[in-house]
Chains A and B, each alone.
Chain A
Amino acid sequence: MSLPFSPLLPIDASAHGPALDRHLILNLAIALALLAITHLILLIGLVRSRISTQRSIWAVEYLPLAALALLFAALTIHAERLWASTRYTGADPAALQVEVTGLQFAWYFRYPGSDARFGTTRPQLADAPAGNPLGLDPADPTSADDFLSSNLVLPANREVDLRLEAQDVIHGFSVPELRIKQNAIPGQPQHIHLTPTLPGTYAILCTQLCGLGHHRMSANLRVLPQPEYQAWLKAKEAAATQ
């Protein structure tokens, strides 16, 4: 895409991203144009000599306001359509399920394993040194094939339904290259869904101030072509059920 401003943004690797980018760039262009117009009016008005004719409030204030109202309404409506298409409905039932948990100062990604069901977690059982940072309950049979990853690995071009959790404080799950950001709140799981498109390795950041390790609370997102993802998944599942 060779729109103006687009070199300012990171690579776009998600299905909803290009429409978001186009709308963002349109907004930036409008803001820049309005900035230039208002400053020009200000400067010209200051430089040119005085006129004392009575100006009508309709011409100077109400009409420009009506035009701005239309402009802002159009932007809002377009933005709402984009927002609605990504957020008003949940993920397709066939979407890949991954659970993302933020805790001071790491992201953990849990995959449900071959039974496609997440096991119960209990905070009392959380024990990071013992390899169970989320408190996965071993008594729950559905948890037996769950496995954790410290990086998020996703297949390209398949929708993913992310279940966001936080163990301790609010964290901000953000992947700039996927144009996605959503806070993870303790006690209130969130679902977001999206489709990564472009294979590559991208940064997962924490964007909600969460304590002294906030700046280093990052992980990698690896978007893999479908066959490579299947191979990764098989290896992980095999290791989990051993």
Chain B
Amino acid sequence: MNRIFSTDHRTIGLQYLLLAAVAVVIGTIMSLMMRIHLVWPDRFLPIKPEDYLALVTLHGTLMLFFVLTTAPQSGFGNLILPAQIGARHMAFPLLNAASFWLTAVALATLLASSFVQGGAAISGWTAYPPLSAVASAGPGQGLGMDLWLASIALFGIATTASSINTLTTIVARRCSGMTWQRLPLTVWGWFTASLLSIIAFSVLLAALLLLFLDRHAHASFFIPAGDLVSGTLHTQGNGSPLLWLHLFWFFGHPEVYIAILPGMGLTSMILANFSRRRVFAYRTMISTTLLIGLLGILVWGHHMFVAGLNPFVGSAFSISTMAIALPSSAKVLSWLATTWRSRPRYTTPMLFALGFVSLFITGGLTGPILAQPILDQYLHNTYFVVAHFHLIMAMAGIFGLYAATYYWFPLIANGRILSERLGRWHFFTTFAGAYATFLPMHLAGLAGEPRHYSQLTGMASASSRLLGRQLPLQDFITHAAFLLAEAQLIFVVNLIQTLRRPGHASNNPWDATTLEWSPPIAPDAEPSVHREPCEYAADGSFSPQWEPAHKPE
């Protein structure tokens, strides 16, 4: 029991990664089911429209919360962060374990919602009311929706607690010499993401509570008077559905940065390591990380350009959203400068970090397009948006996770290194699959195809004509999605093969400079740090953070 209900941060980190792995497998299978149904509605998976929407909801919820939030932040945060700042433990070990188990209960609750009467919720991961507020609004909006609310509330509490833990650990548990300017950029990513989590999830929790009261206590925060849903007339109070959108997106936008910031930090460090270079403009990288975090909570309204806001508000949010392009571009420039005419070593972690940069650029460049309300009034809720956020958040996010896994595997698995040969195969097939799946979606979006449609033909004539043309393209995307999913089997094979072999890696197989790779020290000794990370000399020699300034000759 002690091994399962452990308070050791490394065990908890692994448990988080295992949970994320379960979620990503289920979420991927669900996405493939949706893709099959969309292209061949009657042949293989003749699922009902409500089942399709339940898949939409579960896929989004699983991937956003249980994969992209937990794995980089709580998973690798627990596994690596303490060692990287020279702390022996997380600040609150018991709270840490409680956070994990609460997250596990949240996942079980979410999955259980598929098996109750009416099935899982069908209102998407954004749960806009009154669809989400009234049980009669559709199948799944009864008990299924309640379980969704319970799951996300538990998840929010767990993530807030876990983020407080991470933040406290970074602030209070750094070893001697680990000043703020010497913190690895991964730590800055975790730091900023934790700050955002605490701010954003508390607002989400409040919103979930209000929605729960609307559903069960006859409150009307989000339901206007006179709302008539399938024969049920709402007479009390006079709420506003837009209030939910404000509260939800005040959480929802920072959420995408929570998912991507640790990956950005890691990418910076890996590019430097395998290029044998300092991170170009290290201080600027720290400030842009914080700036992205700050701007990230000021831009939620760009999700609401066509939601019914005053058009002047659209202008304000357009400007704040455009502003985010600048710190993000600064990061890209720094990555390009770090690798520019260096002497790169193409290890698998380096390849995935380069893939992260590529996907971040490709996905990011459509951000400013969607930030312009006049263009958003055409592209909103089309496949163009699906392509944008899958490239930048889902794919770059996953590439960050793979870079982390390949890079830190020797630390996680007792000195075992994943096979480089299989790793390269895994990278190139995944990279090709990611682009083949999500790049063509821009075209479907430009042609006007909305998302969340379980069927493209068979409706009133004009819409069938407009949408039916997209079938060949969607057919291609479905095939590409299968390639992308199958490519992940290479990773599974690699994982199994490597775990069956004994570990033989040296203490510091990648010649890294950060503290998690330092040789073991005596149990009563304190680690100390003497310089910024990523100090590489022109001749390829390097000075790790733990090495004293003047080496004894």
A residues within 8 Å of B by Cβ?
A: 5, 8-10, 20, 23-24, 27-28, 31, 34-35, 38-39, 41-42, 45-46, 48-52, 55, 57, 60-61, 64-65, 68-69, 72-73, 75-76, 79-80, 82-84, 86-88, 103-104, 122-124, 126, 135, 167-170, 172, 174, 176-177, 179-183, 185-188, 190, 201-216, 218-221
Contact = CB atoms under 8 A, between A and B. Distances in A.
B281 A212 contact: no
B374 A20 contact: yes
Contact of A168 (B130, B341, B450): B130
A174 B380 CA distance: 10
Interface in B370-419: 371-375, 377-378, 380-382
A204 B306 CA distance: 16
B370 to A, nearest CB: 10
B362 A187 contact: no
A72 B228 contact: no
B460 A218 contact: yes
25 contacts: A20-B378, A31-B368, A39-B358, A41-B336, A42-B336, A45-B342, A57-B281, A68-B325, A83-B373, A104-B138, A104-B230, A172-B306, A179-B378, A180-B378, A186-B241, A187-B239, A207-B381, A211-B122, A212-B122, A214-B53, A215-B452, A215-B454, A218-B460, A220-B460, A220-B461
Interface stretch (B27-35, B219-227, B491-499): B219-227
B130 to A, nearest CB: 5
Given A80-B318, A86-B374, A181-B306, A45 B336 contact: yes
Contacts of B177: none
A35 B435 CA distance: 13
Given A20-B375, A72-B368, A211-B122, A187 B230 contact: no
Contacts of B337: 55, 60-61
Given A24-B378, A123-B226, A205-B463, A83 B372 contact: yes
Interface size for chain B: under 10, 10 to 19, 20 to 34, or 35 or more residues?
35 or more
Given A170-B129, A181-B381, 18 more contacts: A9-B446, A35-B362, A35-B365, A41-B336, A46-B339, A69-B326, A124-B233, A168-B229, A169-B130, A169-B241, A170-B130, A183-B308, A185-B241, A203-B466, A211-B53, A211-B138, A220-B461, A220-B462
Nearest to B365: A31
B354 A42 contact: yes
Given A79-B318, A218-B463, A187 B452 contact: no
Contacts of B124: 209
Contacts of B466: 10, 176-177, 202-203, 205
Contact of B375 (A27, A126, A201, A213): A27
A83 B462 contact: no
Interface of B: 48-50, 53, 56, 122-124, 128-131, 134, 137-139, 223-230, 233, 238-242, 280-281, 284, 306-308, 311-312, 314-315, 318-319, 322, 325-326, 329-330, 332-334, 336-337, 339-344, 354, 357-358, 361-362, 365-366, 368-369, 371-375, 377-378, 380-382, 443, 446-448, 450, 452-455, 458-463, 465-467, 538
A86 B311 CA distance: 10
B333 A60 contact: yes
Contacts of A69: 326
A88 B312 CA distance: 7
Contact of B137 (A61, A75, A168, A208): A168
Contact of B307 (A64, A124, A180, A185): A185
Contacts of A31: 365-366, 368-369
Nearest to B446: A8
Contacts of B224: 186-188
9 residue pairs, one from A and one from B, having the closest CB atoms = A187-B224, A176-B448, A79-B372, A45-B340, A87-B311, A218-B463, A203-B463, A203-B462, A215-B453
B448 A213 contact: no
Contacts of B134: 168-169
A88 to B, nearest CB: 6
B455 A216 contact: yes
A8 B443 contact: yes
A85 B396 CA distance: 37
Given A55-B337, A86-B374, A42 B357 contact: yes
B380 A212 contact: no
Nearest to A171: B131
A168 B241 CA distance: 11
Contacts of A208: 128, 381
Contact of A65 (B326, B448, B458): B326
Nearest to A180: B377
Nearest to A66: B326
Given A45-B339, A57-B284, A170-B131, A83 B447 contact: no
A216 B241 contact: no
B325 A187 contact: no
Given A27-B368, A41-B336, A83-B374, A188 B242 contact: yes
B53 A209 contact: yes
Contacts of B241: 169-170, 185-188
